[in-house]
Structure 1
Amino acid sequence: MKKMRVLCAAGLLGLGAVSAAAQILIGQTAAITGAVAANMQETITGAQLAIDHANAQGGIHGEQIEIVRLDDGFDVKRAGENARVLIEEKKVVALFLSRGTPHTQAIIPWLDKYGVALIGPSTGAMVLHKPVQKHVFNVRSTYQREAEKAVTHLHTVGIERIAVVHASDSFGKDGLDGATTGFTKAKKEPVVVVPADRDKPDYAAIVGALTKANPQAVLWIGSGSAVVDGIKALRAAGSAAQVVTLSNNASTGFIKQLGEASRGVIVTQVFPSERATAQPLVKEATVLAQAKGQTELSPATLEGFAAGKVLVEALRRAGPKPTRAKVLAALEGIRGFDLGGGMEISYSPQDHSGIDFADLAIISDGRFKR
């Protein structure tokens, strides 16, 4: 493969496989910087394992995949504007691996206007599943499924007093809806539900409300450093409540940011354990990572790898010189595509949901364990 080059201009970061001979332009707007940057970097690393592997084998029908990445800093308006630039100016044939629920919602009008597919958004928002978004092709499970499973698990192990903290945006409401389903099925109620501003959470008020309710467990629905700082504030207030958060925080970076406060935190997962190397998807990603000198996968890396595999498969099926319409048609035609170990992806005009898998992991000794 020819020597890589990096695109770097005002507001533009090219951090992936970019070749002078590249023919297939794929766009990505994501939080390269900001509150969820650590998680996003790991997800990108996983995606590049699949993309670089395809390029090293001669590309797709002889053409290299070029990822053009724009940093949105986890800002909704920037995400929408980046999508416009990628589609109108960069002429990408598809978008890939966006991050954030309101951020992805800001992208959708541009997808719909120009008939561009978005593959593998790193969000489990139900709004991207039902009703079906014509141009959005999910790979991972929904936040509602995760939040419901978390509440069900806590009740199953005898925890009765559960509080919920949720970001005050579409992502937080989505997770809260899933948690509510879990409470309803268990015929229980949360001891308190506390909204948290997405950008500037008032930790004194949040922790005050939690301390007053005295929960045995807290389901914290938020992103990156907002959750990290919240858990640290909760521990500083003397609370020993079990903390559970969702898979958008399933990264090694999240654990490192938490430090000592990470011990015992439960994080929902949307793929098999990253150390279950008997599982073909995990084994393939591990082999490719080790060839690049990466010693260990994280859940976020595995999510990116799965999304990358779907992107590569869609481009293969689209044929030589893929257009936006050909990529869209190729995705609609995917039935029973095995990511490895029976984890199959199927799409149709009526269903763009991808995989329905949810599990739990607990942080111990600086690692996710199941």
Structure 2
Amino acid sequence: MKWFHTCLLAAAVSWTAGTARAQILIGQTVGLTGPVAATVKEAVDGAKLYIDSVNAKGGIRGEKIELVTLDDKFDPKIAAANANTLINEKNVVALFLNRGTPHTEAIMPLLEKHGVALVAPSTGAMLLHSPVNRYIFNVRSSYQREAAKAVAHLHTLGIDRIAVVHVDDSFGTDALEGANKGFAKANLKPVAVVKADRNKPDYPAIVPALAKTTPQAILWFGSGTAVADGIKALRAAGSAAQVVTLSNNASAGFIKALGDASRGVIVTQVFPYEKSFSYGIVKEALELAKAKGLNEISPAILEGYAAAKVLIEALRRASPNPTRQKLLAALESLQKFDLGGLEISYSPDDHTGLDFADLSIIGNDGKFKR
């Protein structure tokens, strides 16, 4: 009998230890290095704020969430290879918060092939919204909505000589389409449309092409350091045109990259102002950030935080023992989930997520203002 109790105790200890070690693996391929590294870091930090807070309370039914992140250097081919590794070798339950439109396109065939959900891609490409992709669950608004809103805003200010610079890839084409919708609604035409190479923009050619058309404002659709360097080249050439870029550059890292050229640059936003404490999500994120020694949060941090809230709510609903199939079902049935002042819903016919779009301007202090 004593031997029986000893074995029973050992089994209980072993089971408890196994539960404590159990993990829910979530995969992420993202540009930890390369032109979007600064913004990516902030988004990942934001996601970890929430994930770490959930893990500190025991995780989900005793299972900790582990984010397995691989660096794709902002290269679509590496992103696809990383996604394959995460799905087939790491056996992740889902992919999460990747970055880039062509990168997401490269991953999409793997999602369907292996029945894996991609939660909160950090891109607003319309191809992820329409037609509905069963495996992609957007959280942020679309680039087209942001671009159209930017044109409308400039038009209300009496600005009608607007040029466009767009990166020569699917992201740039998508943003341009949104801008064209804004131009059509305002009964305007861009004074210039200039393409920029994604890896090596030719600023000595781009800037004179813009200057020739004497624009009052320039919509610059690109990523990270490429846009920052372009704006600095523009200012060095003596142009004072108002520059507007999209929320993919809504980070403190982007402002830092701009340096002295940051003042007055307009950046569209897809989440509330990070100082709008009437939104519960802003208050929550800031409190957790302060607990980790951060005195403020950026739009990119807020995007990562919101993405993690959606992911973990779906994992809770798919528990115990969440699988890829159970997570898909949980996501598609997510209705009126309150992120903290913002409500998100999905259905088999709608994976759009939020429809929030706003504008901010970088002030003299190097901070976003609204």
Band the TM-score falls in, shorter-chain normalisation: over 0.9
Task: Report Cα offsets for 1:149-180 as digits up to 9, x if no partner.
Answer: 00000001100100000000000000000000
Q: Distance in 2 between matches of 1:318 and 1:238?
A: 56
Check whether the contact 1:215–1:241 (CA below 8 A) recurs between aligned residues.
yes
Q: CA deviation at 1:290?
A: 0.7
Shift of 1:208: 1.0
Query: Greater helix share, 1 or 2?
Result: 2
What SS does the corresponding residue of 2:139 show, helix, strand or coil?
A: coil
CA distance in 2 between counterparts of 1:110 and 1:181 reads 32
How far, CA to CA, are the matches of 1:20 and 1:273 in structure 2? 38
The aligned counterpart of 1:348 is 347
> Secondary structure of the equivalent of 2:334?
coil
In structure 2, the partner of 1:160 is 160
Question: Partners in 1 of 2:22 and 2:248 — Cα distance?
Answer: 31
Equivalent residue, structure 1, for 2:229: 229
**Distance of 2:65 and 2:298 partners within structure 1:** 24
Structure 1 unaligned residues grouped into runs of 5+ = 1-18
Runs of 4+ with deviation above 4 angstroms = none
Matches within 5 A, 1:110-125: 110-125=110-125
- Which string of whole-angstrom CA distances, capped at 9 and with x for unpartnered residues, describes residues 81-117 of structure 1? 0000000010001000000000011111111100000
- Equivalents in 1 of 2:105, 2:133: separation in Å? 10
**How many Å separate the matches in 1 of 2:294 and 2:96?**
23
CA apart distance, 1:278: 2.3
The within-5 A match list for 1:1-370 is 21-341=21-341, 343-364=342-363, 365-370=365-370
Query: Is residue 28–residue 96 contact of structure 2 (8 Å, CA) maintained in 1?
Result: yes
Bigger Rg, structure 1 or 2: 2
Shift of 1:332: 0.5
Shift of 1:61: 1.4
CA displacement at 1:319 relative to structure 2: 1.2
Unaligned runs of 5+ in 2: 1-18
Counterpart code for 1:102: P
State the Cα distance separating 1:20 from its structure 2 match. 8.3
Could you tell me the percent identity over the aligned residues? 69
Distance 1:67 1:324 in 2: 15
Give the root-mean-square deviation of aligned CA atoms.
Answer: 1.0
Question: How far apart in 2 are the matches of 1:261 and 1:276?
Answer: 26
Secondary structure of the residue that 2:133 maps to in structure 1? coil
Secondary structure, aligned partner of 1:67: strand
Contact 1:338 1:344 in 2 (8 A): yes
Question: For the Cα contact (< 8 Å) 1:207–1:233, is it kept in 2?
Answer: yes
Distance in 2, Cα, partners of 1:295 & 1:118: 31
Counterpart Cα distance in 2 of 1:315 and 1:56: 16
Partner amino acid, structure 1, of 2:345: S
8 Å CA contact retained: 2:146, 2:246: yes
Please say if residues 20 and 63 of structure 2, whose CA atoms lie closer than 8 Å, have aligned partners that are also in contact: no
Q: Matches of 1:337 and 1:262 in 2, distance apart? A: 36
What count of residue pairs does the alignment treat as equivalent?
351
- 1:22 Cα deviation (Å)? 4.2
The question of whether the paired residues in 2 share the 8 Å contact of 1:277 and 1:286 is answered with no
- Normalising by the residue count of structure 2, what TM-score does the alignment of the two structures yield? 0.94
The DSSP-based 3-state class of the residue aligned with 2:308 is: helix
Give the TM-score normalised by structure 1. 0.94
Asked if the contact 1:164/1:192 (under 8 Å) is kept, the reply is yes
- Aligned residue for 1:140, secondary structure, equals coil
Specify the SS of the correspondent of 1:131. coil
